[in-house]
Amino acid sequence: MVQTMDSIKVLIVDDESRMRKLIGDFLGREGYTIVEAGDGEEAVEKFFADNEISLVILDVMMPKMDGWQVLKEIRQYSKVPVIMLTAKGDEKDELTGFNLGVDEYITKPFSSKILVARVNAILRRTNVTGNDIMESCGIVIDKVAHVVKVDGNTVDLSVKEFELLSYFLLNKGVALSREKILNNVWNYDYFGDARTIDTHVKKLRSKLGEKGDLIKTIWGFGYKFDTEE
């Protein structure tokens, strides 16, 4: 059973409702389920009341309990990924965050694309966005062993081909733009162009044999792993 994006909960903690809505809109469009908290105390309460929260986006400066204290509370019991938001660009603050267990540190103002890409990258890195075994239409991906089998036969894929196939299965039936694929498979700091995707898709289709036909081209947009399963 693959965990879909709309089952992944992100807790957004900021005392500015405008900022919560802004971030929530960005991530909501990506399919994430959003939980909001307006201060540190509410954040701790909501986090421990919901064991399905997969990532926390946490502002530093807040009333009642600041972000550092919230982080300390969470880290006593959980290793859930945390992205820290702050208006400060002070190196001392960044070091404090990393020492307390922050996974990413983003200074306001920030790019929506960068924020979304970092959320996606962290969740992939921590293996939240899918189980160890993914399966669809006779294609089986073992993420731990890094093995792909098609109808029981092992298929030799490159690292990027493996990641690309995993991303397609994770988003089965979803039309994926080339930009979105680049952000999620090649990460937000990749400076190449979309032709890289086309080249990898062509090789991946070839290696998958008849199953390669499941990767449909959406002309002028991107690709979709299409199945009636």
Q: pLDDT per residue over 117-126, tens digit each?
A: 888 888 877 6
- Answer yes or no: do 116 and 31 share one domain: yes
Per-residue confidence (pLDDT) for residue 91, from 0 to 100? 64
172 and 143 assigned to the same domain: yes
Mean pLDDT of the chain: 84
Based on the fold, state whether residues 137 and 120 are members of the same structural domain: no
- Pair (114, 18) in one structural domain: yes
Render pLDDT for 27-41 as a digit per residue (tens, 0 to 9).
Answer: 998 889 999 999 999
* Residues 155, 108 share a domain: no
Predicted confidence at residue 218, as pLDDT, reads 94
Residue that finishes a domain, picked among 91, 125, 159: 125
Say if residue 74 is in the same domain as residue 52: yes
Residues 113, 177: one domain?
Answer: no
Output the domain CATH number for residue 19. Answer: 3.40.50.2300
pLDDT score recorded for residue 130: 52
pLDDT band at 1, cuts 50/70/90? very low
Residues 211 and 105 in one domain: no
Give me the CATH number covering residue 144.
1.10.10.10
Give the residue from 87, 104, 125 where a domain finishes: 125
pTM over 0.75: no
Model confidence band, residue 45 (pLDDT cutoffs 50, 70, 90): very high
Which of 95, 125, 155 represents a domain boundary (last residue)? 125
Span 82-101, mean pLDDT? 74
- What is d(CA 116, CA 137) in angstroms, rounded to the nearest whole number? 30
- Specify whether 115 is located in the same domain as 74: yes
The pLDDT value recorded for residue 120 is 83
pLDDT of 2 reads 43
In this structure, is the dihedral angle defined by the CA atoms of residues 59, 61, 66 and 71, taken in order, positive or negative?
positive
pLDDT of residue 131: 55
Q: Which H/E stretch holds residue 85?
A: strand 82-86
The answer on pLDDT for 149 being more than 90 is yes
- 106 & 144 share domain: no
3-state secondary structure of 213: helix
Whether residue 117 sits in one domain with residue 159: no
CA distances, 21 to each of 5, 13, 73, 118, 155 (Å): 19, 11, 25, 18, 44
Return the SS3 of 58. strand
Q: Which structural domain, as residue segments, surrounds residue 95?
A: 5-125
> Is residue 115 located within the same domain as residue 214?
no
Task: Specify the number of domains making up the chain.
Answer: 2
